[in-house]
A and B are shown apart, each in its own frame.
Chain A
């Protein structure tokens, strides 16, 4: 099987090229894309990519697989490749390439940092822990599971256009995770920081983020909730 891999070293190359590597896929097995990359790396050890847990938890191996962002370690070949066709691997779109499939995620983390993704509560801390009802805890389901793989942000045109101003789906999912948290007391301040024309309102509801999220999360819904909270606060 042919694997076409994006190759680029900004320090030495003028422009990126796609390199075709022919690999032997064991018959009768449905490999994950990450396994295919490992086989390709055996053929050409200079191919660079990130990987760590190889089970969809660490979020290291987010990449563009046949045109759609996903985690290489949990994307089966059979899901993305029509038999007889190439597997095309590119880095996550919209972020600067460091080498081959490795991208510089600084701006992604910067946007994440902006939403203060931690509990803010000025009340004196209780003896053991801040308690929550099971109902309030349930509100965080579908929000806290994000692994920061950046598949969503880098599939979002608004993030491609204004990566320094639009927080992006991953950051906004976390923003809502803390807005929805009954133990957080900084909702007003959090919302105040989100009501400019870029941070939240650049979301056009394209829903690429929902389509590509490897954890099956729904940032668009969270953004909708943030908008509703902004409207309630503003009126």
Chain B
């Protein structure tokens, strides 16, 4: 049982919509990347770089990165509130869950900053 859930007063409906919307963005990006491989049969570093030099790819990549981070946070928040509950971990569950969620948050934030640097770097 989850006694105190850190959910930043979100609504389940909002989470659910974000999960579905971000999944569509991720699927579209996957198709976009695979499409590039199909389009450029002789893909090498220069072609790859030119794809990522375009503003469209950069913006699409950043949007996808944000979608991925949102998807991961909602997903991991859900997993931790499913599995790290007082039924399994007794009264330490809240602290343990908070620690796990904190690390997930840190990792996601780090990936987000790192990703923006990669896509928007020189």
Contact = CB atoms under 8 A, between A and B. Distances in A.
Q: Which 8 A-B pairs have the closest CB atoms?
A: A201-B12, A197-B12, A161-B82, A195-B13, A164-B1, A195-B11, A230-B13, A234-B13
A15 B31 CA distance: 54
Given A165-B2, A197-B5, A158 B82 contact: yes
A200 interface: yes
Contacts of A161: 82-83, 85, 87
Contact of B1 (A158, A162, A201, A234): A162
A227 interface: yes
A224 B16 CA distance: 12
Interface of A: 158, 161-165, 195-202, 227, 230-231, 234
Nearest to B10: A197
Contacts of A197: 5, 7, 10-12, 15, 78, 81
14 contacts: A161-B82, A161-B85, A162-B2, A162-B85, A164-B2, A165-B1, A195-B11, A196-B11, A197-B5, A197-B7, A197-B15, A197-B78, A227-B16, A234-B17
Contacts of B13: 195, 201, 227, 230-231, 234
